[in-house]
C-alpha cells in the first residue's frame, strides 16, 4: 500500500485544501497541527468527517523532535507548511518565530534524513526573503498603471534575485529554505522549496496580519472598518489556492527533476492586482460601502511584488488557471456562508432567546 502523506500545519488554510485534494483522490493523510490558529480546528473536523478512514489528525508541534520523527517515518511525502506566518508577530517574539520556522524545519529534515526510506519534502517559503525590493518599487511608482499585466511582466522577480532577508520572519524562513535546499545537496534528500507570493481561497480565516483578501471580505460582510497600511497602491500577484495545490502535486509528480530546486510560486503578471482594486471588488460583492482608514506602511511590506513563475512552468508544465476576479468571488461565497453560520445561534440558544425550554 502506498505510504500516506504528512502535512505539517495540515489543519490550516493551505494544509486543509491540500489534504482535501489528496484524500479525494483516495490517498491517506496525516495532519500534524498544534491547532494554535483561530478556527483551524474547524478545518480538521471537516476533513475527519468527510474522510474518517484515511485522515488522521495528530495534535502536536514541529518543535517536538520525537513527535515529528514518529510522523515522518510513516510517510512517503512531507508537505511542510507549519510556520509562524506573520511579520508583525516575528517582531514581537523573534525567538518563537525562529524556533518554529527554522528549528521546526530542521526537525522535519532530520527526521526525513533518519528515515529508512526518506520521504520527499516540500517546503513553503516566502517572497519576503527578497526584502523590500526598493528598486522595483521605484520603477513601479513611475508607471501610470503598475498593476496592469504588461507592466507587471516587466517587473517580475525571478529566483536569481539576490536574497535580502528583512524582518525576523524573513530571516527564519530564509534560513529554513536554505537548509531544505542544502539537504538535497548534502544528503540527497528529495526536497523542493516554494517561495510563495500571496495565496487566497476558501478555508482561509483571514486576519489583518495574514490572508488580507479574506480579511477585507470578512470585515466588509460584518460591516466592520478596514485599515489599510500605506496608500493601497501596493501590488501583489494573487494565487488561488486550487492552483497552489496543483503546483504541489506537479512538483511531486516531477520530483526527480525538481529535487533541490527553489521556485517562485504566485499568480504571475496576469494576476497582479492593487489593494485598491481588491477593495473595489469586495465593495461590489458585499453590496455596501467600505469603512476605510489609512495608517503608516508596516516594516518589511513590499510595495510591489510579482512572481516570475516561468522556471516552475518549465520544470512541470504548471500554470495558474484561476483569475483574481473569479477567485475573489469564490472566496466571498465561502466566507458569506461562514459568516451566516457563525452568526446564527444554535437551536438551544434560539429556544433560550425566545423564552422556550432548551
Q: Annotated active-site positions, please?
A: 169
Question: Which residues on adjacent β-strands are paired with residue 227?
Answer: 293
Q: Is 65 buried (19+), middle (13-18) or exposed (0-12) by CB count in 10 A? A: middle
Gap between the Cα atoms of 124 and 128, Å rounded: 12
Q: How many residues does the chain have?
A: 358
| 255 neighbors 120 (Cβ within 8 angstroms) | yes
Handedness of CA 8, 47, 322, 37 (dihedral sign): negative
Q: Residue holding cell 517562485?
A: 264
Q: Residue 22: helix, strand or coil by DSSP?
A: helix
| Residue in 74, 50, 233 with CA at minimum distance from that of residue 142 | 233
C-alpha cell at 14: 493551505
CA 155 vs CA 147, 238, 270: distances in Å: 10, 15, 12
C-alpha cell at 67: 513527535
Gap between the Cα atoms of 87 and 207, Å rounded: 13
Gap between the Cα atoms of 321 and 130, Å rounded: 25
| Number of C-beta neighbours around residue 38 at 10 A | 9
| Number of C-beta neighbours around residue 103 at 10 A | 16
Cα 15 vs. chain centroid, distance in angstroms?
8
Question: Which residues on adjacent β-strands are paired with residue 80?
Answer: 8, 123
Element (H, E) at 46: helix 40-50
Amino acid at each position: 500500500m502506498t505510504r500516506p502523506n504528512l502535512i505539517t500545519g495540515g489543519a490550516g488554510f493551505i494544509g486543509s485544501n491540500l489534504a482535501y485534494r489528496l484524500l479525494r483522490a483516495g490517498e491517506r493523510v496525516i495532519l500534524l497541527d498544534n491547532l494554535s490558529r483561530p478556527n483551524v480546528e474547524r478545518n480538521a473536523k471537516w476533513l475527519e468527517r468527510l474522510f474518517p478512514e484515511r485522515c488522521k489528525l495528530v495534535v502536536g508541534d514541529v518543535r517536538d523532535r520525537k513527535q515529528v520523527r514518529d510522523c515522518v517515518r510513516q510517510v512517503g511525502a512531507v508537505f511542510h507548511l507549519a510556520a509562524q506566518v506573520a511579520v508583525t508577530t516575528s517582531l514581537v517574539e523573534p525567538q518563537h518565530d525562529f524556533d518554529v520556522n527554522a528549528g521546526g524545519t530542521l526537525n522535519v529534515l532530520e527526521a526525513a534524513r533518519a528515515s529508512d526510506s526518506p520521504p520527499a519534502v516540500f517546503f513553503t517559503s516566502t517572497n519576503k526573503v527578497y526584502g523590500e525590493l526598493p528598486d522595483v518599487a521605484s520603477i513601479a511608482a513611475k508607471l501610470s498603471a503598475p498593476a496592469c499585466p504588461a507592466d507587471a511582466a516587466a517587473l517580475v522577480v525571478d529566483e536569481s534575485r539576490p536574497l535580502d532577508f528583512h524582518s525576523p520572519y524573513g530571516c527564519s524562513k530564509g534560513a529554513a529554505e536554505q537548509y531544505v535546499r542544502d539537504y538535497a545537496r548534502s544528503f540527497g534528500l528529495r526536497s523542493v522549496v516554494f517561495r510563495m507570493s500571496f495565496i487566497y481561497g476558501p478555508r482561509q480565516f483571514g486576519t489583518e496580519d495574514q490572508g488580507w483578501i479574506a480579511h477585507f471580505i470578512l470585515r466588509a460582510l460584518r460591516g466592520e472598518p478596514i485599515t489599510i497600511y500605506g496608500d493601497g497602491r501596493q501590488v501583489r500577484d494573487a494565487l488561488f489556492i486550487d492552483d497552489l495545490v496543483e503546483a504541489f502535486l506537479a512538483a511531486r509528480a516531477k520530483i526527480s527533476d525538481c529535487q533541490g530546486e527553489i521556485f517562485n510560486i504566485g499568480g504571475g503578471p496576469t494576476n497582479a492586482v492593487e489593494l485598491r482594486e481588491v477593495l473595489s471588488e469586495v465593495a461590489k460583492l458585499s453590496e455596501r460601502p467600505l469603512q476605510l482608514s489609512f495608517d503608516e506602511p508596516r516594516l518589511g511590506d513590499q510595495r510591489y511584488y510579482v512572481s516570475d513563475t516561468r522556471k516552475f512552468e518549465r520544470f512541470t508544465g504548471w500554470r495558474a488557471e484561476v483569475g483574481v476576479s473569479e477567485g475573489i468571488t469564490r472566496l466571498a461565497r465561502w466566507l458569506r456562508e461562514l459568516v451566516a453560520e457563525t452568526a446564527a445561534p444554535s437551536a438551544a440558544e434560539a429556544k433560550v432567546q425566545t423564552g422556550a425550554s432548551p
